[in-house]
A and B are shown apart, each in its own frame.
Chain A
């Protein structure tokens, strides 16, 4: 059986990945601390229990990323001759689903409270002899809780963009959803204090719509990767120019008449086939080996491109 060569990650990229792994560990333990804090604070409040389940859901993505990072290091073997890189796409799909579920949860929750039309009551609280509206205490707690996900989310987004790491990019959206819901609750409580009973739910509804949309976009992206869609840029979301670039490079070779390339994403790496119509068959084998070397060194993301000589390219690419 032919087993693929082991893909070697460029060193500067490995540095970024190591940073991402550290960041996701921090993120995981931060979220775990939130889950623990809410568990001890929830008592028998149904609303708190719902918030707790929502927070448990956010533990999944950093774990999925860390597990995927561990598995993808394995070299291709007899059972997995193409290697283990696609495990990243599974982690990405999982994260996208978590994001989508989070959005749906917010939508359902806020819609039910809007339909119930039961105004929120917030009473008084005493702090060192001063009695003040408990809304202020809640706002202070919410602002405080919004700071870590805000900072973590920013760091995730910046690093993930740099590394083309879609799982962490989607998880950054979860961090964003975290702090945005906190901000929405602050606005909601301010509204409740003004006698606008619906402000709380309305703010959550808007955030819910946004998170659901983000989840949907990411699920589409992950499913696209699993279905061997042509590579898309993780920054712009548009198709990559890379296949066209490879075709140009191949056609610049003397022995190549015409070339046509198709690529797919396997997690963080790309692979595919290049069909070439040789101008002459002399030294074909060594020419192909050289061309493969050329193509595979064009971009660090390419793990393998198989070069296939054909007599008539118009038939091969149709």
Chain B
């Protein structure tokens, strides 16, 4: 076909992709997060937002809460040490997006604005609350990951599915929305 002569780069990428499929992890990371974290250090960004993430202001105590507990599960599954980084939510999202942190937890609710700032997991749970105007708002809860780390994203997603965060420990039954 004439396209083969005219689009050499496409053919090169396609060939590389096929060669790659044989040997390595797929999908893979741009910055090798999965490889670095496994049996290494997991850099976790935390922002206080109970009951999802509970920290003291000095950052001296181990964070607690639904998402902090789950990150300990993640670290255990990957045999990784956790390094907690305390940051306000906005800075936390920026650090995660740049890849300075491997995962950001702050009881994040998926919005268009947050979706643009960092790569988000699928919602692992959904809560709902009554607004003052009487309407019910659904809040899908997500975790933030660096852009383009698609292998890492799959690792996190698979564990989210296999061992979902324990919302029942921290949320009253009335607060738990449709899963």
Contacts and interface: CB of A to CB of B under 8 A. Distances in A.
A135 B161 contact: no
A158 to B, nearest CB: 16
Contact of B6 (A133, A184, A210): A210
Interface string A245-281: 0000000000000000000000000000000000000
B175 to A, nearest CB: 25
A79 B43 CA distance: 78
Given A126-B161, A191-B17, A203 B10 contact: yes
Nearest to A135: B27
Contacts, number: 94
A190 B150 CA distance: 12
Contacts of A121: 119, 145, 147-150, 153
Nearest to A205: B9
B30 A119 contact: yes
Interface stretch (A92-100, A104-112, A161-169, A194-202): A194-202
A76 interface: no
Given A119-B147, A121-B149, A193 B158 contact: no
Nearest to A191: B13
Contact of A124 (B14, B122, B147): B122
Contacts of A135: 27, 150
B9 A190 contact: no
B154 interface: yes
A180 B6 CA distance: 12
B119 A194 contact: no
B84 to A, nearest CB: 24
B30 A187 contact: no
A124 B154 contact: yes
A37 interface: no
Contact of A118 (B20, B145, B147): B147
A193 B119 contact: no
Nearest to A202: B9
Given A121-B153, A123-B119, A193-B27, A206 B147 contact: no
Nearest to A133: B27
Q: Which of A44, A124, A196 has the most CB of B within 10 A?
A: A124
B16 interface: yes
Range, interface on chain B: 20 to 34
Interface string A293-310: 000000000000000000
Nearest to A123: B153
A194 B26 contact: yes
B27 A199 contact: no
Given A135-B27, A193-B17, A122 B10 contact: no
A42 to B, nearest CB: 13
Contacts of B9: 202-203, 206
A145 interface: no
Given A119-B148, A121-B119, A121-B148, A195 B28 contact: yes
A184 B9 CA distance: 11
A193 B28 CA distance: 5
A196 B13 contact: yes
Contacts of A196: 13, 16, 30
B111 to A, nearest CB: 10
B17 A187 contact: yes
Question: For A133, A184, A194, A199, which residue has the most chain B Cβ atoms within 10 angstroms?
Answer: A194
Contacts of B157: 123-124, 131
Contacts of A206: 7, 9-10
23 contacts: A44-B112, A119-B30, A120-B148, A121-B147, A121-B150, A122-B27, A122-B150, A123-B119, A123-B121, A123-B122, A124-B122, A131-B161, A135-B27, A187-B10, A187-B17, A190-B13, A191-B17, A192-B148, A193-B26, A194-B26, A197-B30, A197-B148, A202-B13
Q: Which 8 A-B pairs have the closest CB atoms?
A: A119-B148, A121-B119, A193-B27, A124-B157, A190-B17, A195-B28, A119-B147, A195-B30
Interface of A: 44, 118-124, 126, 131, 133, 135, 180, 183-184, 187, 190-197, 199, 202-203, 206, 210
